[in-house]
Amino acid sequence: MPSSPYPIVPLITSLREHDLLSLGAMSRQDVETLFATAAALKKDVRPYRNALDGRSVAMLFEKPSLRTRVSFEVGIHKLGGHAVYLDHSEQRLGERETIADYGHNLERWVDAIVARVYKQTILEGLSDASRVPVINALSDLHHPCQALADYLTLREKFPKRAWNDIRLAYVGDGNNVCHSLVELGAILGVHVTVLTPPGRNPSTPIMKQCASFAAKSGSTIKVSHDLADIAGHDAVYTDVWVSMGQGRETERVRELFRPFQVNANLMGLASRSLSSGQRTLFMHCLPAHRGSEVTDDVIDAAESVVFDQAENRMHAQMALLVHMLCG
């Protein structure tokens, strides 16, 4: 039997030829296996340079992007594949032809679909219509690729810590990034605190599902409006106050969120009760609105890992594609 042109990767049944619309189908072991592949790719991609040889990936983008587009395109190229970029910023998916027809066409030409869209229902429609894997590169409800990169970054920063020994605080709007962070944290066993202004809580149905994951993993999930609850967290994460396509950052929005700005005082409070010498990490999915959700001194501090997160988008996504198409 001829040898494989790339290292054999363990089977992840929740990914092999399956969609990734959210993270709920993955187990802790699935994620650990994915992270091991991501770490191997990050260390030396050369053994995997033919993993996607002869394969094409369609990239459908309704929203503009820096990190998502570049990290996927470069990652696909590094694996020997071909990325086809389809810009739908002017004409939304479903306007010119039905989502079903769009998906049926693409499945005849490409091996996977990466979609960055405004509505989760678009992804579900593509999934229903297409026989090739669909990857959620961001929707109104979930941002699974970002969360995978975020927890990969935490694993790098705390290599000897058990997941149940890590505490993550998310500060801001209960949005798509928040949903995926809580979801993956609950699967892994991380203790996650969500701090939001009143009326900006994450989705109740999604949080109920996360609670069921947490009951199995030993995670604790807490939603609070009291910033005093940020004390004793290993990392503080924030995002823009208004997500793209959800309206503008009006003065009313700024007034609502201003107390939740991540600044030096809040980071100091987060570091309380940590081990001697340990400082709380700062995380952000980017792009950041400096002076709004975070101050310059925090995002530019030594404890900021925002560019590590951005780099790890590529490695996590490459691992996803390897396990989806080659595992």
Mark whether 289 and 198 lie in a shared domain: yes
And the tokens for 324? 């989806």
Same domain for 185 and 236? yes
Same domain, yes or no, for 189 and 251?
yes
Give catalytic status of residue 178 as yes or no: no
**Is 150 one of the annotated active-site residues of the chain?**
no
Q: Which among 67, 313, 315, 323 is annotated as catalytic?
A: 313
Report the CATH number at residue 176: 3.40.50.1370
pTM over 0.85: yes
In a domain, 12, yes or no: no
Catalytic residue at 161? no
Is residue 169 domain-shared with residue 138, that is, in the same domain?
Answer: no
- Count of domains observed in the chain: 2
How many angstroms separate the CA atoms of 140 and 154, rounded? 24
Decide if 196 is inside a domain: yes
Same domain, 64 and 162: no
Write down the catalytic residue from 143, 155, 167, 179. 143
- Kindly name the residue from 140, 146, 155, 233 that is annotated as catalytic: 146
pLDDT, one tens digit for every residue, the chain (327 residues): 345 677 878 889 889 879 999 999 999 999 999 999 999 999 999 999 999 999 999 999 999 899 999 999 999 999 999 999 999 988 888 889 999 999 999 999 999 999 999 999 999 999 999 999 999 999 999 999 999 999 999 999 999 999 999 999 999 999 999 999 999 999 999 999 999 999 999 999 999 999 999 999 999 999 999 999 999 999 999 999 987 656 666 888 899 999 999 999 999 999 998 887 899 999 999 999 999 999 999 999 999 999 999 999 999 999 999 999 986
Query: Residue 286 is part of which domain span?
Result: 146-310
Taking CA atoms, 246 is separated from 61, 141, 178, in Å, by 17, 12, 15
Would you call 146 a catalytic residue per the annotation?
yes
Residue 213 located in a structural domain:
yes
Which of these is catalytic: 150, 191, 239, 309? 239
| Active-site entry in 67, 88, 116, 200 | 116
Q: Are 83 and 57 in contact (CB under 8 A)?
A: yes
- 317 is an active site residue: no
Considering 88, 285, 317, 323, which one is annotated as catalytic?
285
Residue 176 CB partners (closer than 8 Å, separation 6+): 138, 139, 140, 141, 142, 143, 243
Q: Is 313 a catalytic residue?
A: yes
